[in-house]
Amino acid sequence: MGSAAEYEAGEKVATRNKGILNLCGKTDIGSAAALLSRCRLFIGNDSGLAHLAAAVDVPLVVLSGADSPAETSPSQVRKA
């Protein structure tokens, strides 16, 4: 998933693996949340999708850059 501007990059990844579906530019926030809620794990950069994954209680691995992860990373409280 991603924006329409990321579609070409998504196609490069998807064409190398038939098990990958490129949804860049094809989801709205509601359908993205519904899809993410079915995931067992989210791995990605610190983005809107990462925050959305946290909001639907998906475990996260978030890659951060020059920002302060303590200040900008998605907050998530996991239940034991």
- Give per-residue pLDDT as tens, 58-70: 999 988 876 666 6
Give the per-residue pLDDT at 63.
Answer: 86
Give the per-residue pLDDT at 70.
Answer: 67
Those residues of the chain that have pLDDT short of 70 are 66-80
Q: For the chain, what percent of residues have pLDDT higher than 70? A: 81
d(CA 16, CA 39): 22
Give the per-residue pLDDT at 69.
Answer: 63
pTM passes above 0.85: no
The two tokens of residue 16 are: 């190398």
